[in-house]
Amino acid sequence: MYRLIRAMVALTVTAFGFTALEPAHSRDLELVERLKKNAAEFRHEIGKPGGTLTYSTISGPKTFNLAISTETSSTEILDYVFEGLVETSWLTAEVEPGLAERWESSEDGIVWTFFLRKGVKWADGAPFSTDDVIFTFSRIIYNDDIPASARPGLTIRYRDDVAQTWKKGQVKAEKVDEHTVRFTLPVPFAPFLRAMGTAIYPRHILEKHVDDGTFTSTWDVGTKPGDIIGTGPFTIERYDAGERIVLGRNPRYWQRDAAGKPLPYLDRIVYLVVPNLATSLLKFQAGETDVLEVTGEHYPILKPQETAKNFTLYKRGPNFGTTFLALNMNAGKNSRNDAPFVDPVKLGWFRTLDFRKAVAHSIDKDSIIDNVMNGLGYPQWAAVSPAAGDFHNPEVTRYPYDIDKANALLDGLGWFDGDGDGVREDAEGNNIVFTLATNSGNTVRERVCTIMKQDLARIGVRVNLRFLEFNTLVSQLTSTYDWEAIVIGFTGGVEPHHGINFWHSGERLHLWFPNQEEPATEWEKRIDGLFVRGSRELERRKRVAVYREFQQIASDHVPVVYTALAERITAVRNRFANMTPTLFGLFDVRRLHLK
Amino acid sequence: MSPEPETAIRERRGTPGSRSPFRRALSRLRRNRLAMLGFWILVFLYGTAIFADFLSPHHYAASARKKAYHPPMITWVHFFDENGLTWPYVRNSAFEFDENQRKVYRETPGTAYPIGLFVTGDAYRFLGLIETRLHLFGLRGVENISHTDPNRPMLFLLGSDNFGRDVLSRLLYGGRISLSVGLVGVAITFVLGMLIGGASGYFGGRTDMLIQRLCEMLMMMPGFYLLLALRAAIPADWSSFETYLAIVVILSFIGWASLARIIRGLVLSISEMDYVTSARAMGVPHSRIIIRHVLPNTFSYAIVAATMSIPGYILGESGLSLIGLGIQDPEASWGNMLALAMDIAQIRFHPWILIPGVLIFITVMAFNYIGDGLRDALDPHGVQQ
């Protein structure tokens, strides 16, 4: 799907194509092969204009200002309105021309020249040119006064070999002529080309708002929808807050089909705002919407209705989003009262490798898949999802569900249950008890926690469950650091470099010990180095090796214990043509048409 | 004329006109069919809650991992084997996903576990005192099967939940929490509301003003958000029993204000009565006047109000547990059991997870019937029979 692809671009996806997708399970091999075959055999056909595609969404857009929006409820809509210089293919995940029709790069990967498509117009008729690209990069993305969501992805972390310090570099954009723009990078940066999918904004409309400092309040949801000007295939026609968003065909859109007819084919895309997933399901069953993302638990409801209600359920392989257990290994102290973030006794357990391994061995992934995902999921062992193609390392150290082995590991540490209360004591006689938190309302994570609690009890570790409101949880993770153990998830993409936020020891989201000046352990140091190397390595084969090595180290030291990846399932009404399920999407919304 | 026999005199004394108001009310209550139905339902429910550990075939947390959402086994009980009629038994079972990815349980041929009476099972303390393993009923022949075996045979008469735990056992254990929360909560509210309301009405003036404004402030706050805020203040490492108590206290903390206001209104008029004025004139201490002379006159209202407010506590606990802020898994309460039913797919394929809701409904109805009956029975202007 177009928007899925754009979301991936936003996550700075890899600059390289996909060769192999390692299945998590042998039974999935067939599915993966079929999806790859679909993509290889697919050819777009000439469509007929007209028609409406209807989605449902849990929450409407919070802003129409794509540059500063971070939540998918807004970006999902705005990705139809704005485009980048390149785009990612929904068939192969290859980078394809977008607003730029071609590009060149210097041998060392430092200088990139993009040749813009001629004749592209903004939705209000103004011509698109290099000035818009320069404006977007220098005035919006790299403007410190604007919290641009694209900035982290376009900030390059590198080690200055002369000064021996870490630096953060930016991409320099220069105008060559009206339709040529040159980018200069501080160091080679492998994810750069795909990151060029970042949206370009109209200078002739937004420049005055950047000048007078009102950019962050420009294009809020109160703006007249017709004033939101992009180059994308659709424009916002109307927005009734809490009710619906209607996107209309952009008649000035540049792309044409093979017969020279204008794209997109569809007249409208409608998003119905619904209160919850159950309503989404009901709306889809009632035929009011055309597309539905389906959870494993809802699959058995829809499957028998496929023929009668004229839709098809497409299984699309493991998800990118991970759910994992993390133990707090933060040795820091609160600067205000000098109290350690984590009780030193517990910190001691969490930093013991064999304890973490024992915990990993006691996670029953199969039960999580069967009981939480209704059997529609894949056990996860490596830090990179199998959905990310050959960056996924299938040979990492695995910790299969094995209570006896977990018990043996704890016995080996000399932690026994001396007083017979069912809970082991460490060498100093402290009961091994800790609090496991997750965000309340997320039933998947709550159930995963309950399964973990049961299993950890079997190895003599007592866990108190604590379900917290999401923002409370986030503030514990990123500012107060006073959590002990947590089950949480991260979204991911096909570009492994995206994981640097989480894996680099100097990062804020390096959950178990964030913002370290120097890596606390030798293996964290190695992972830091690998991430930096991976981003500078332009040869795909070597890059794959780098990220595979990182996954191996991560699996050997188990800072986090992965659980399971859900199957991606999408239901689509059988009214549309020019679509097929692939590993990366279902269709290009510009070429989707009614049968 | 011969003297009347003594029994006749006693009988005459026993005519309605001479019985105590309490006895009269009781007899009126006894004649109220609905109220008595409610009463016996509650006696039954509280009885099962008290003896939950003996009556339940399994511990509330006992699970067979690979038996999530097992359908109720009531219809799976076999009475015949190859030799004809036999002691009732069930077979072990295992699931497979069907073509629609639905879990379908099938009996495993060749296995048979008789349902025995007075079997040994999970250990518990009977009435909190005697350590025992005796259960009223359960499966025989499972003693040597490990509790961690994900596919072990268990008796799911009313089905199993999403972790493969017995719904019947959890209902029985959950009843302990869901049913007692109302009683404990009302006891706290009752004492607080009566005393504070009584003092407020009796003393009047500035005391009254302060107390009433405090009540209004409490009543002004949106109850549900106050619950959430107070719940968030409970430390994570509290045991489930402490959390339970805290929840009851939180619930009563919100509830007492409205009771106090009504009691205050009643007391206001009662304290103007001559006997109160004379008690005051005789120098009886205030506390004694309030407790001995004033408050008893509000009892008939208070008893009815208390009965009618118990369902509120039960629903409050269910509501909190339903959204995951009350009793935490694996502890059972009817509310947190019902949380499973928040997903349309689960109700559709596993309707037995709605049973706790049915029990909450029945309990609330029973309390309401009794409350109505009590109101009629305690009404001094009610028809004398």
**Residue indicated by tokens 């018990």:** A407
Query: What are the beta bridge partners of residue A240?
Result: A244
Residue B36 has a pLDDT of 92
Each domain of chain B, given as residue ranges in start order, spans: 57-164, 170-378
Amino acid (one-letter) located at B11: E
Going by the DSSP 8-state scheme, the letter that residue B2 receives in this structure is: P
CB contact under 8 A, B100 and A303: yes
Mean pLDDT for the stretch of residues A255-278: 88
Q: Which percentage of chain A shows pLDDT scores above 70?
A: 94
Of A43-52, A436-445, B97-106, the one with minimum mean pLDDT is: A436-445
Average pLDDT score over chain A: 85
Name the strand (E) or helix (H) holding B336. helix B334-338
Quick check: A492 and A388 in contact, CB under 8 A? yes
Question: What is the rounded distance in angstroms from the CA atom of residue A227 to the CA atom of residue B233?
Answer: 47
Quick check: A341 and A479 in contact, CB under 8 A? no
Q: Reduced to 3 states, what is the DSSP secondary structure of residue A85?
A: coil
Is the pLDDT at B356 greater than 70? The verdict is: yes
Min distance B346 CA to chain A CA atoms (Å): 8
Q: Reduced to 3 states, what is the DSSP secondary structure of residue A100?
A: strand
Residues in chain A: 595
Residue B358 has a pLDDT of 93
Residue B380 has a pLDDT of 63
What are B231's two structure tokens? 């719940």
**Residue indicated by tokens 């200055």:** A160
Q: Reduced to 3 states, what is the DSSP secondary structure of residue B16?
A: helix
- pLDDT band with cut points at 50, 70 and 90 for residue A33: confident
pLDDT digit string (tens) for B309-343?
888 888 888 887 877 677 777 788 898 888 888 87
E runs forming strands in A241-348: 244-249, 268-273, 291-294, 311-318, 322-327
Nearest by CB to A450, from B66, B103, B163: name it: B163
User: A297 CB near a chain B CB, below 8 Å?
Assistant: yes
User: B384 CB near a chain A CB, below 8 Å?
Assistant: no
Query: What are the beta bridge partners of residue A566?
Result: A377
Of A440-449, A459-468, B105-114, B284-293, the one with minimum mean pLDDT is: A440-449
Is the pLDDT at A9 greater than 90? The verdict is: no
Each domain of chain A, given as residue ranges in start order, spans: 2-290+575-594, 322-567
B328 vs A contacts (CB less than 8 Å): 465, 467
Residue B381 has a pLDDT of 62
- pLDDT band with cut points at 50, 70 and 90 for residue A164: low
Average pLDDT score over chain B: 83
B-contacting residues in A 16-75 (Cβ below 8 Å): none
B346 vs A contacts (CB less than 8 Å): 297
Of A21-30, A171-180, B50-59, the one with minimum mean pLDDT is: A21-30
- pLDDT band with cut points at 50, 70 and 90 for residue A405: very high
User: A176 CB near a chain B CB, below 8 Å?
Assistant: no
Strand A100-105 with A111-116, pairing: antiparallel
Strand A86-88 with A95-97, pairing: antiparallel
Most confident of A126-135, B10-19, B216-225: A126-135
**Residue indicated by tokens 């659980």:** A563
A403 vs B contacts (CB less than 8 Å): 148
Question: What is the rounded distance in angstroms from the CA atom of residue B336 to the CA atom of residue B322?
Answer: 5
B65 vs A contacts (CB less than 8 Å): 364, 367, 371, 451
Interface predicted TM-score (ipTM) of this complex, two decimals: 0.71
Inter-CA distances, A6 with A80, A197, A388, Å: 9, 8, 16
Going by the DSSP 8-state scheme, the letter that residue A124 receives in this structure is: T
What are A16's two structure tokens? 């390289």
CB contact under 8 A, A371 and B162: yes
Question: What is the rounded distance in angstroms from the CA atom of residue A366 to the CA atom of residue A380?
Answer: 10
- pLDDT band with cut points at 50, 70 and 90 for residue A23: very low
Q: At what angle do helices B21-31 and B355-378 cross, to 10 degrees?
A: 130
pLDDT digit string (tens) for B279-307?
888 888 888 888 888 888 888 888 888 88
Inter-CA distances, B115 with A12, A350, A578, B154, Å: 61, 46, 59, 10
Is the pLDDT at B172 greater than 90? The verdict is: yes
- pLDDT band with cut points at 50, 70 and 90 for residue A313: very high
Going by C-alpha positions, the residue among A90, A92, A568, A58 that lies closest to residue A313 is A568
Question: What is the rounded distance in angstroms from the CA atom of residue B298 to the CA atom of residue B262?
Answer: 10
A-contacting residues in B 86-105 (Cβ below 8 Å): 97, 99-103
Residue A16 has a pLDDT of 30
Calculate ∠ Cα B252-B183-B135, nearest 5°.
135
CATH architecture of A2-290+575-594: 3-Layer(aba) Sandwich (3.40)
Mean pLDDT for the stretch of residues A203-225: 86
Nearest by CB to B100, from A297, A304, A441: name it: A304
Query: Which residue has better confidence, A376 or A501?
Result: A376
What are A14's two structure tokens? 């890899």
Nearest by CB to A447, from B162, B232, B342: name it: B162
Going by C-alpha positions, the residue among A562, A415, A392 that lies closest to residue A493 is A392
Min distance B240 CA to chain A CA atoms (Å): 9
Residue A224 has a pLDDT of 87
Is the pLDDT at B149 greater than 90? The verdict is: no
Residues in chain B: 385
- pLDDT band with cut points at 50, 70 and 90 for residue A433: very high
Torsion of CA B324, B363, B298, B29, to 10 degrees: 180
One-character DSSP codes across B187-221: HHHHHHHHHHHHHHHHH-HHHHHHHHHHHHHHHHS
One-character DSSP codes across B289-312: IIIIIIGGGGHHHHHHHHHHHHHH
CB contact under 8 A, A435 and B237: yes
Quick check: B314 and B363 in contact, CB under 8 A? yes
Residue B315 has a pLDDT of 86
Q: At what angle do helices B223-232 and B299-322 cross, to 10 degrees?
A: 60
CATH topology of domain B170-378: MetI-like fold (1.10.3720)
Residue A444 has a pLDDT of 82
Options 3.40.50.720, 3.50.50.60, 3.10.105.10, 2.60.40.1120; CATH for A322-567 is 3.10.105.10
Query: What are the beta bridge partners of residue A431?
Result: A425
pLDDT digit string (tens) for A345-383?
999 999 999 999 999 999 999 888 888 888 888 888 988
CB contact under 8 A, B344 and A465: no
A443 vs B contacts (CB less than 8 Å): 342-343
Query: Would you call A222 exposed, middle or buried from its count of C-beta atoms within 10 A (0-12, 13-18, 19+)?
Result: exposed
What are A134's two structure tokens? 């320069």
Quick check: A187 and A166 in contact, CB under 8 A? no
Mean pLDDT for the stretch of residues B82-109: 87
Q: What is the largest CA-CA distance in chain A?
A: 81
Going by the DSSP 8-state scheme, the letter that residue A484 receives in this structure is: S
Chain A residue whose CA is closest to B66: A367
Residue B158 has a pLDDT of 92
